[in-house]
Amino acid sequence: MSVQEAIKRQYQDIVDRAASRHVGFAVPSEGWVATVRKALGMSGAQLARRLGVSRASVSQTEKNEMSGSVTLKHMQKAANALGCRFVYAIVPDERIEDVICDQATRKATKLVQRVSGHMALESQSLPLEKTQAEIARLRDELMRDMPSDFWEAQ
């Protein structure tokens, strides 16, 4: 295994571990700031005082969280004021290797279909099982080599 492959594997392990810890993890319907604040029995005014801002600012932060326009900095400050820690992550729905395999399969399928279309025009199309075998072979090659256009749409 090359150094680059080892480094890539380490990154994949980090992401896979994070994803496994956050299975079924979803934002509460009112957002995290409002939910934790209410779970603590803390009013918006009390959180505002802890943050050193107005009650309207807390309300705006809670609205911004729900609309997706809150900043990470605001979330960090709110979490600290609530006696919590802010966790930020991007995790895949499946293992990273599966995401890569899915992309390689899509890319291989499109490439083989394009070639098969040309071959069919010349009455030289491959039987289904050979087509599937070629897709699998090409998928494995794409996963191994990951060409520069790997993540580009075909």
pLDDT tens-place string over residues 36-77:
999 999 999 999 999 999 999 999 999 999 999 999 999 999
DSSP, collapsed to helix, strand or coil, labels residue 148 as: coil
The CA distance from 35 to 21, in Å, is 21
Whichever domain contains 75, its CATH number is 1.10.260
| Domain annotation covers residue 116 | yes
CB 79 within 8 A of CB 85: yes
| Domain annotation covers residue 5 | no
| Domain annotation covers residue 57 | yes
pLDDT at 125 over 70: no
Residue 152 phi, psi dihedral angles, 5° rounding: -80, 150
For residue 30, the number of C-alpha atoms closer than 13 Å in the C-beta half-sphere is 8
| Domain annotation covers residue 87 | no
pLDDT the model gives residue 100: 94
Burial class for 120, CB neighbours closer than 10 Å (0-12, 13-18, 19+): exposed
| Domain annotation covers residue 91 | no
- Do 74 and 103 reside in the same domain of the chain? no
The CA distance from 133 to 123, in Å, is 20
Domain count, the chain: 2
pLDDT the model gives residue 120: 53
Structural domain span for residue 30: 23-81
| Domain annotation covers residue 15 | no
pTM for this predicted structure: 0.73
CB 131 within 8 A of CB 116: yes
| Domain annotation covers residue 4 | no
